[in-house]
Homo-oligomer: A and B are copies of this chain.
Amino acid sequence: MIIKYSPESLGKAGRCLRVLAHPARLLIIHLLGQGERSVQELEKEVGISQSSISQHLNLLKDKDILESRRAAQQVFYRLKNPRLLELTTLTRELFCKE
């Protein structure tokens, strides 16, 4: 393990985890784990307003968790690193047992 517990890395890890620590964003990541989705599709599947979805997506993109491509009017989002699913899976294993 090269990565130290420096104040910087603790801060960065904390900020990234905090962005993940939201039900809607966890669901977005789960869905994107199955393949890319347009904002529209996410809006329907997550069940919150377009504006909220867009704001959540923006937070995740800011943290380099998602990336996107535009196809005509639509924008498709996908996980930047599929290993992120390991983290959400582990989270459920540890905290959602029953």
Contact = CB atoms under 8 A, between A and B. Distances in A.
A87 B87 contact: yes
Interface residues of A, number: 39
Contact of A12 (B27, B30, B96): B96
Contacts of A86: 90
B84 A13 contact: no
Interface of A: 1, 3, 5, 7, 9-18, 20-27, 30, 63, 81, 83-84, 86-97
A19 to B, nearest CB: 8
28 contacts: A1-B92, A3-B93, A3-B96, A5-B26, A5-B27, A5-B30, A9-B92, A9-B96, A10-B24, A11-B23, A13-B88, A13-B95, A13-B96, A14-B23, A14-B25, A14-B26, A15-B21, A16-B21, A16-B91, A16-B95, A17-B17, A17-B21, A17-B26, A18-B21, A63-B95, A83-B93, A87-B87, A90-B90
